[in-house]
């Protein structure tokens, strides 16, 4: 019996990159980033419960330029993951499957995450918590 030719996935040279797969990959990366952020939060709590030297080191670490950039990235990851999760909840309910709705809600998730991150950090800066 001859073997039938089976269809194959689109090749990378003819497959066009789309916003949907970019947002899906970003959702996965932000989930991993949030997991790392929770480890950093656990470290902060342990340092807070420990002695003054350990707390001082943790405060110095999180207050450094690299620490502030990491917290900024973690806050963006939180807001994006939250908004994209809400987007998926709407899909689970059967809403928003049209092409323009999918693209629009994707841009709302990215833009909303950027605005919420900027707003949260502005409030923190304004009230002197940084």
Residue that the structure tokens 């939180």 belong to: 78
Instruction: Domain ranges for the chain, please list them.
Output: 19-126
pLDDT in tens, 3-17: 777 766 766 667 778
| Cα–Cα distance, 91 to 102 (Å, whole number) | 9
In this structure, the dihedral spanned by the alpha carbons of residues 127, 64, 49 and 54, taken in order and rounded to 10 degrees, is -150
Q: Which residues make Cβ contacts (< 8 Å) with residue 85, sequence separation at least 6?
A: none
Q: Which of 128, 23, 32 is nearest to 77 (CA)?
A: 32
Please say whether the beta carbons of 66 and 120 come within 8 A.
no
pLDDT in tens, 9-56: 766 667 778 899 999 999 999 999 999 999 999 999 999 999 999 999
Q: Which fold has domain 19-126?
A: 3 helical TM bundles of succinate and fumarate reductases (1.20.1300)
Q: What percent of the chain shows pLDDT beyond 90? A: 78
The number of CA neighbours under 13 Å toward the Cβ of 77 is 19
Q: Which residues make Cβ contacts (< 8 Å) with residue 95, sequence separation at least 6?
A: 101
Structure tokens at 98: 């049209």
Please tell me the total number of residues recorded for the chain in this structure.
130
Mean per-residue pLDDT, 58-83? 97
Task: Please tell me what DSSP assigns to residue 17.
Answer: P
């Amino acid at each position: 019996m001859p073997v039938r030719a089976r269809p194959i996935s689109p090749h990378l040279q003819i497959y066009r990159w789309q916003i949907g797969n970019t947002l899906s990959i970003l959702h996965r990366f932000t989930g991993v980033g949030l997991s790392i952020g929770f480890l950093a939060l656990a470290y902060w709590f342990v340092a807070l419960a420990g002695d003054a030297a350990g707390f001082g080191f943790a405060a110095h670490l999180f207050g450094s330029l690299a620490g502030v950039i990491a917290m900024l990235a973690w806050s963006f990851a939180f807001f994006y993951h939250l908004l994209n999760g809400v987007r998926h909840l709407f899909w689970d309910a059967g809403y928003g499957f049209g092409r323009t709705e999918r693209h629009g809600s994707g841009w709302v998730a990215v833009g909303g995450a950027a605005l919420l991150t900027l707003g949260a950090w502005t409030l923190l800066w304004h009230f002197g918590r940084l």
